[in-house]
A and B are shown apart, each in its own frame.
Chain A
Amino acid sequence: MTARFLRGTAAATLAGAVALTAAACSNPGSTAGASGGPKDSAVVGIAYEPETLSPLLGYGKDGNSKIFDGLLAFDADMKLRPALATELPHIGDGGLTYTYTLRDGVTFSDGAPFTAKDVVFTYRTILDPKTNNASRTELDALKSVEAVGDDTVVFHLKYPYAPFAERTVHAIAPEHVVAKQDVNTGAFTTEPIGTGPYVLTGWSKGEKLSFKANPTYWNGAPAVKKFTMAIIKDDDVRATRLRAGDLDGAVLPPNLAAGFKGDKAKKTWRAKTYDYRTVTLPTHHKVSGDTAVRRALDIAVDRQAMVDKILEGAGKPAYGPVPTDSPWFAKGTERRHDLAGAQKILDEAGWKPGPDGIRVKNGVRAAFPLWYLSGDKLRQDHALAYVSDAKKAGIDITAQAGTWEVIEPRMKTDAVLAGGGAPGDPDFDQYLLLTSSLAGDGFNNMAWYDNKAVDRALQDGRRTNDLTKRRAAYDTVQRELVKNPGYTFLTHIDHLYVVNDAWDGPSTQTEPHDHGLASGPWWNVETWKPKSTGATKK
């Protein structure tokens, strides 16, 4: 009986395998070279195209570029590890100097050796005001950079800046190529040459970027020999082409990703992110500037409902820019949905319900406008949910759609449904969002938040490398946000990817707000290994 059972199973498995193979063969859209054999190429669909591939103009600033390497790199848990440097930097002079020793024997894809000169050239060019780099502010702490011999680089800072090492994941450009070109429009911006695991073989703008494995990569040649990123802006088209077998993986919104649940050959990856949605509560508005109103809104809003309904479960409630599962999150600062509590706060602060149910205090009606980016469905849904939650507490918010050109001049007094998020260091988001001196500086501190205790804690947090002190500083910031929220943080949004289950190695990194080229399960495509396909597949 056992033998018969085994035989039956084997036959069934065999039949299944044949059916699978047949299905693969009959699909002409399939890009697998030889069906059955291990795949050494991968094609993924992404939504955004980079403007440039030049690190000097901002590409690869957050590390993990396929074409370039930084001195350091982030691993899956966003911990720093050495890349072009042999080890983490030596920090001296009270946090003012960072010294890196460079890896030996690394070459650019054109064969030229990588040296300290390239590092110095890269950072100096970015700091040069003539270079059109919009991310220069991120290197604000950097005063100068110098090479000591061929294999040592020293960075000098203007002030001690704890997360500086995390900025040195920035991609390094080759001096011998770029120095001869116009840095802003030269050929290098579209024909990059780097030290990374892949070499760009073609960039058909608006269509795709093609890469081939760099056979002389210092960290070992990748097993996925060909890698292609197809640029498909429309979500539906991306899902369709994934289904048609034209793509091996793609980024998808939650509702379209759900359509692949039953597909055994594909796996859905849910990347945790720092990508938050928040409502700015401008201090310059009579209603949103009132601490009682801000505190009431903070607990009147039903975050879990937003996660369940708007994000279809792919996300989590947010109480600040730091996600609740980050080691930097201050435990105990979660706010429960408490409508009665919100009403009590407003009652006690003198906001009494008027004849239409909207609260009034000293003749001021509890009403203000909330802007969201037109065309952004996710932001619109968040804004409308917020409006409806606020209404229950007696606050009348009017949601209005507009482009940034319309919204920006009003940011000082009107609320905005904003998004952002940079993983890595707690300084990155919090400093720009909350520092009072940055109020109204571009899109920084859009709410004009002004809290001396927070300002002090943010300075303390960035100027020391002592982990305990840093943790205490960011705990203070998060606890202050409970007492006086300058924003109502709503959700952190998971990014969803559907990928053929044909490789060992895909994983996800904690992702930032924008879906860059490096986001997605293919952040580490250079370490993927083809799965051996066979009848044992379950």
Chain B
Amino acid sequence: MSHSLPWGAMARMTGRRALAAVPVLLAVTLAVFAVAEASPFDPVKAYAGTAGLTASQENLDQLRANLGVDRPLLTRWWEWLTSALTGDLGDSAVMRRPVAEVIGERLGWSVLLAVTAFLMAIALGTLLGVLAGRRRGGLIDRAVSSVAYTLEAAPAFWLGLLAIWFFALKLGALPAGGLTDTASDTVTFDQVARHLVLPALVLGISQLPWFFLYVRQGVGDALDEDPVRGARARGLREPTVLTGHALRSGMLPMLTLIGSRVPELITGALLVETVFSWPGIAAATVQAATSVDFPLLAALTVLATAAVLLGNLLSDLLYGLADPRVGFDG
């Protein structure tokens, strides 16, 4: 594209969204505290683990007081919020460590996994979608579509087990899990790269069908539209028609999809991380939830909410860029 990007409009939209995010995040954290309060899980039992099964009531009561979980909901939320604003995210009861440390050492690995998988899904989904959309009903279309529908129904953990069985066990080509070789302590680039392949592939594949089906539909529809038929009639070559006209409008629905897939990506990552012993944030999230670990749960929820809001913003920005008629109203 030769014309410059509408930076001003984009920045204004980003600013408006950021402002709107503040009450959303506040409400979400309060809701987390309220839902956790109402949940039947007992944070003291969760903290004590199996030791709690033989602990005396006195011991458990003391723990309850130490952990501060016997105080009213609003007090705890307010304390958490005010200290979070000063940068202190509190201590995670279930991990026995400061929340910032727990998130800090895990978040990067989750982001790496999710981003790799996401990029792969988008790239592969677009490519296959264009190929299939160009000639709907053709061989490629029928083959890829039926695989995509099957994958849509396949749970990520099942794909994970399948991938381990095939690539690690039958072929012995890729490691079955972990961030590095199990026996190695140092995290090197090529180790991580090798270990990233399978989980990212599985997570990416599980997201692929949506992108593929959207692009296929979009490209197919666009090829039937008047402008494309006009372009063809003017004698433009097929690749030009495809990239210049069909792809541009055909990609629009996919851009909104990118944002709306973020929550799915987060839940998918959760299962994939478990299957591949990937040391990301997912396992911590499950543990925080079932242990009613307020500080950790609240921080993770803020993160997830922020990711979803960012995803939406990103897709709206892209949509605005791709189709100037939509603009950046927000």
- What residues of chain A have their CB less than 8 Å away from a CB belonging to chain B? 26-29, 31, 41, 43, 51-52, 54, 57-58, 129-130, 132, 134-138, 140, 184-185, 189-190, 201-202, 204-208, 210, 226, 228, 230-234, 236-237, 240-241, 243-247, 403-406, 420, 422, 432, 438, 441-444, 513-514
Q: Give the distance to chain B from A429, nearest Cβ to Cβ, in Å.
A: 9
Interface size class on chain B is: 35 or more
State whether B173 touches A28 (Cβ < 8 A).
Answer: yes
Bound-complex Cα distance A77 to B275 (A): 37
A185 touches B50 (CB 8 A): no
B273, chain A: closest CB distance, angstroms: 8
Q: How far is the CB of B276 from chain A (nearest CB, A)?
A: 8
Nearest-neighbour CB distance to chain A for B181, whole angstroms, equals 7
Asked if residues A444 and B168 are in contact (CB atoms below 8 Å), the reply is no
Q: Which of A206, A247, A406, A514 contacts B182 (CB 8 A)?
A: A247
Q: How far is the CB of A365 from chain B (nearest CB, A)?
A: 30
**Interchain residue pairs A-B with the least CB separation, the first 9:** A134-B48, A134-B51, A405-B40, A207-B279, A206-B283, A185-B91, A31-B183, A135-B51, A189-B96
Contact of A240 (CB < 8 Å), options: B50, B165, B178 = B165
Bitwise interface map of B from 30 to 67 toward A, beta carbon under 8 Å scored 1, else 0: 00000000001110010111111111111110110011
A-B contact pairs, 15 of them (CB 8 A): A28-B173, A29-B172, A58-B51, A129-B62, A134-B59, A137-B55, A137-B58, A205-B105, A207-B178, A228-B183, A230-B182, A240-B161, A241-B176, A444-B54, A513-B50
Complex formed: what's the CA distance from A234 to B271 in Å?
A: 11
8 Å CB contact of A205 from B60, B165, B178, B284: B284
Check B97–A190 contact: CB distance below 8 A: yes
Q: How many Å lie between the Cα of A135 and that of B165 in the bound state?
A: 41
- Cβ of B177 under 8 Å from chain A: yes
List chain A residues, Cβ under 8 A from B94: 51
Q: How far is the CA of A131 from the CA of B234 in the complex (A)?
A: 81
Q: Which of B57, B63, B93 lies in contact with A441, CB distance below 8 A?
A: B57
Instruction: Tell me the total A-B contact number using a CB cutoff of 8 A.
Output: 168
Q: Among A240, A422, A514, which residue has its beta carbon within 8 angstroms of that of B169?
A: A240
CB contact under 8 A between A405 and B97, given known A207-B278, A208-B182: no
Q: How far apart sit A140 and B58, CA to CA, in the bound complex (Å)?
A: 11
Add 9 more A-B contacts to A26-B172, A231-B277, A443-B55 (CB < 8 A): A51-B96, A129-B62, A135-B55, A136-B55, A137-B55, A246-B168, A405-B45, A444-B54, A514-B50
Return the chain B residue nearest A440 by Cβ: B57
A403 vs B40: C-alpha distance in the bound complex, in angstroms? Answer: 9
On chain B, the residues within 8 Å of A210 by CB distance are 185
B191: min CB distance to chain A, Å = 12
B98 within 8 A of A: yes
| CA A27 to CA B176, docked complex, whole Å | 13
Residue of B nearest to A44 (CB): B182
Could you say which residues of chain B place their CB within 8 Å of the CB of A138? 54
Which of A237, A247, A442 contacts B275, CB < 8 Å?
A237
Asked whether A246 and B176 contact (CB < 8 A) given A237-B275, A432-B54, the answer is: yes
B202 → chain A closest CB, angstroms: 13
The residue in chain B whose Cβ has the minimal distance to the Cβ of A513 is B50
